[in-house]
Amino acid sequence: MRSDANIAGPMTDPVPGPRTESMGEDVSRETPPPMDDTPIGRAAQLAVEALGRAGEGLPRPEQTRIMVVANQKGGVGKTTTTVNLAASLALHGGRVLVVDLDPQGNASTALGIDHHAEVPSIYDVLVDSRPLSEVVQPVPDVEGLFCAPATIDLAGAEIELVSLVARESRLQRAIQAYEQPLDYILIDCPPSLGLLTVNALVAGAEVLIPIQCEYYALEGLGQLLRNVDLVRGHLNPTLHVSTILLTMYDGRTRLASQVADEVRTHFGEEVLRTSIPRSVRISEAPSYGQTVLTYDPGSSGALSYLEAAREIALKGVGVSYDPTQAHIGAQSNPNMVEGIQ
């Protein structure tokens, strides 16, 4: 595995066409659009802006950044964040691999990747030492984006791994042996702290924790952080929590801003300035086998993930992120960038 800055250039337009934010049936949970928003024209304009931004490209990491997307709490936005950030980083010009490490296979579904029982998958890599290159598939519609899918077999892997040699470091070995140049590997973890998640923590250098802006947001995080410490102490000295992303932020509720404040007090610099709004478009996209970036590129959800990706990329090369330079869509969304709320 190596990084090769010359391989991937800015991506071509993968987008089928803009849709409007206001077309969803269940709009009651949607973060309201900015006051000056006239839905159709605005969405089209934002799509163009988003694609303009994407075409610019971003600084690429010197080495492949391996990010473990983990939180043992269920339904906080791990998979949604993995696939949409990965697509955003690819649209920004990077080469990105998503490793689906959840037997539910939600990341594979959301990326439109075939993952029925017969498909070569991450299970074969972990349990049968199959090379990663034999299971990786390109993601349709997004150039530079790839996925190692999970099939239902993976449900048995937690048990099967127990008796195998080097059971905690099988994913790490597979990734190290993978020769394709990559800028990012994003690993989508299941909502547990078993051997699958441990394999991810051993393989990665960075932990990205999505936190849902709801009650009990921080509950249980202590256990994840202790596991990160344990893995760092015994198996992977480079491991650290690099990124916290606030998800499903609803600016209409006081609770959301209270949770955001609490998380920022607790974690500080690791918390991205960009947060992800609650968006119907984000939740609809997986049922079409798409990320929100291709499903509705002008939506607030798509723009917020593009912006989060930009922030992550800039932080990775030591450039401080300036929210006033966020693209127009992010600035005009009152929920997206802290300081503009």
Ligand X SMILES: Nc1ncnc2c1ncn2[C@@H]1O[C@H](COP(=O)(O)OP(=O)(O)OP(=O)(O)O)[C@@H](O)[C@H]1O
Per CB under 6 A, residues contacting ligand X are 74-80, 102, 106, 191, 247-248, 276, 278-279, 282-283, 301
Closer CB to ligand X, 58 or 336, in the complex = 336
Tokens of 98: 């998503």
Tokens of 332: 């005009």
Based on the number of CB atoms within 10 Å of its own CB, is 274 exposed (0-12), middle (13-18) or buried (19 or more)? Answer: buried
At closest approach, how far in Å is the CB of 207 from Mg ion?
A: 15
> Of 178, 170, 245, 154, which is closest to residue 202 (Cα–Cα)?
170
- How far is Cα 302 from Cα 89, in angstroms, rounded to an integer? 12
At closest approach, how far in Å is the CB of 103 from Mg ion?
A: 10
Interaction between residue 81 and Mg ion (CB under 5 A): no
Angle (deg, nearest 10), helices 221-234 and 195-203: 60
Q: Decide which of ligand X, Mg ion, none touches 76; Cβ closer than 5 to 8 Å per partner kind.
A: ligand X
In the set 53, 60, 78, 278, which binds Mg ion (CB under 5 A)?
Answer: 78
At closest approach, how far in Å is the CB of 133 from ligand X?
A: 26
Closer CB to ligand X, 72 or 172, in the complex = 72
Based on the number of CB atoms within 10 Å of its own CB, is 111 exposed (0-12), middle (13-18) or buried (19 or more)? Answer: buried
Interaction between residue 79 and Mg ion (CB under 5 A): yes
Q: Decide which of ligand X, Mg ion, none touches 247; Cβ closer than 5 to 8 Å per partner kind.
A: ligand X
Per-residue x/- track, 25-44, Mg ion (CB under 5 A): --------------------
Interaction between residue 72 and Mg ion (CB under 5 A): no
Angle (deg, nearest 10), helices 300-316 and 39-56: 20
Q: Decide which of Mg ion, ligand X, none touches 172; Cβ closer than 5 to 8 Å per partner kind.
A: none
Closer CB to ligand X, 136 or 302, in the complex = 302
Angstrom CA distances, 271 to 81, 115, 297, 329, stand at 14, 33, 24, 21
**Strand ranges of the sheet holding 240-247, from the earlier edge strand across to the other edge:** 137-138, 145-148, 96-100, 184-188, 65-69, 206-212, 240-247
> What phi and psi, each to the nearest 5 degrees, are found at residue 276?
-100, 120
Count the alpha carbons within 13 Å of 130 in the hemisphere toward its beta carbon: 14
Q: Decide which of ligand X, Mg ion, none touches 309; Cβ closer than 5 to 8 Å per partner kind.
A: none
Q: Decide which of ligand X, Mg ion, none touches 51; Cβ closer than 5 to 8 Å per partner kind.
A: none
Closer CB to ligand X, 150 or 313, in the complex = 150
> Which among 36-44, 98-106, 178-186, 282-290 is the span making contact with Mg ion, rule CB under 5 A?
98-106
Closer CB to Mg ion, 277 or 286, in the complex = 286
Report the DSSP pairing between strands 240-247 and 184-188.
unpaired
Interaction between residue 247 and Mg ion (CB under 5 A): no
Interaction between residue 243 and Mg ion (CB under 5 A): no
Residues that bind Mg ion (CB under 5 A): 78-79, 106
